[in-house]
Amino acid sequence: MLRLAWRNLLRTPGRSLVTGGVVALVVFLSLVFLSVYAGAFDAFYRLLLERTGHLVVRVEGYKEKEDLEGLAFFPPELPLPAGARVEGVMEGGALLIAGERSRAVVLTGLEAEGLARQRSLLRSGRLPRASGEALLGEALARALKVGLGDEVVAYAPGSLGLGAYAFRVVGLVDLPETHLEARTLLVPLKDAQALLAPGRVTRLEIRLSRLGLYDLKPLEEVKASLSPHLEGLWVETWLEANPIYAALLPLYDAIMAVYVGIFFALGGLILLNALYLSLVERVREFGLLAALGLVGGRVMGLVFWESLLLVGVAALVGMGLGLLMHLELADGFRLPLPQWILEQYREFGLPEVLYGRLGVREILLTWAYAVGVGILAALWPGYLASRLEPVEAMRYVP
């Protein structure tokens, strides 16, 4: 049966080559798409992780609290694993005054490492290096009509600290959301604490070393070990702290499967057409085979073998080319997008260079789709071939 299937495919080399080429192209494009898609997905979540840390510690019930006194706390001593780093963050509302102009802002105090991570958003000037220096959102600077080197005063009545603090603008940052850019003031943590709440923070960001992007089980273990030491405080993983984005993670597999399914649905239609044409051209031959005793399921099996052989060889070729392309993408690539889209992309802080990712799951998904298409495309032609009457089939004239 296998030799007969090979012979039938080789009888129409042109059609078999074109059909196999389409299947190979679909497999190739699917692997490239999966590699690029996973790379972009990883870049977005890596950025999210970089901004929040692996674990975030806040006061218990922080979502229901609004006053600074209820949100701020003194950082406790934490039994962290080797290589872990803790960064304090202080956030609070303030009124920023420059001359006769003023704007309500969200003042954020960051440690040196946190300020260094704002470098990708920096559009002019430099990062703060000393007390009394600040970064402003570009929209906020325009609203206050201030520039680099100008002085602004943050006024926070009712705070637990000084209540007023002068800063010199040393840098301007460009944020993706204009409404946030118009309210952003970034300063060293010590200055924010002196202004709002001495010695306190509104959250702790814990960053762990040598941990994969989606290694959630070790995070849960560290979280469980910290909980007994956090009286009145609440620890969350980076995904729990960003529930909207966490909801996207389970959709990854579904979106990936749908897009790849569309590719293979188009390839399956071409394969179905090739198998049907092959059936029409060989009606008399099928009639002769049926008269010799090859009937029913065996005739259908012959059509299935032809389909699976064609798809199998083409899929191996496409998979080989796709894996070679993935090796290039894994070394880093730039998205071929128009300049205006790249500007928006950069504003969100996403890297311009992405790195492809392709795992065993993605390869098995592509292979399963190829085999599935081969089987489904052979169903109808195989059924028609198995239902042919030998006498009528041998009299058939195309």
Phi, psi angle pair for 94, to nearest 5°: -155, 165
Partners of 95 in the β-ladder: 104, 155
Phi, psi angle pair for 305, to nearest 5°: -60, -40
pLDDT at 285: 66
Asked whether residue 299 carries a pLDDT value surpassing 60, the answer given is: yes
Phi, psi angle pair for 265, to nearest 5°: -65, -40
358-365: average pLDDT: 88
Asked whether residue 274 carries a pLDDT value surpassing 70, the answer given is: yes
Asked whether residue 8 carries a pLDDT value surpassing 70, the answer given is: no
pLDDT band at 175 (very low <50, low <70, confident <90, very high): confident
Phi, psi angle pair for 196, to nearest 5°: -105, -50
Q: Average model confidence (pLDDT) for the chain? A: 83
Helix, strand, coil share of the chain (percent; to 5): 55, 20, 25
CB-based contact 126:184 (threshold 8 Å):
no
- The position carrying tokens 């692997």 is 31
Q: Which of 100-109, 243-252, 357-366 has the lowest mean pLDDT?
A: 243-252
CB-based contact 358:326 (threshold 8 Å):
yes
Helix (H, G, I), strand (E, B) or coil at 382: helix
Q: Pick from 195, 140, 205, 192: which is nearest to 171 by CA?
A: 140
Q: Which of 9-18, 109-118, 177-186 has the lowest mean pLDDT?
A: 9-18
Which tokens in the block code for residue 389? 């009457």
Distance of CA 243 to the CA centre of its chain: 15
Which tokens in the block code for residue 53? 């840390």
CB-based contact 74:197 (threshold 8 Å):
no
Question: How far apart (Å, rounded) are the C-alpha atoms in residues 31 and 344?
Answer: 27
CA angle 66, 69, 73 (to 5 degrees): 110
pLDDT band at 340 (very low <50, low <70, confident <90, very high): low
Question: How far apart (Å, rounded) are the C-alpha atoms in residues 160 and 249?
Answer: 40
Asked whether residue 391 carries a pLDDT value surpassing 60, the answer given is: no
pLDDT at 229: 86
pLDDT at 124: 92
Helix (H, G, I), strand (E, B) or coil at 86: strand
pLDDT band at 43 (very low <50, low <70, confident <90, very high): confident
Query: Residue 70: CB partners within 8 Å, gap ≥ 6?
Result: 59
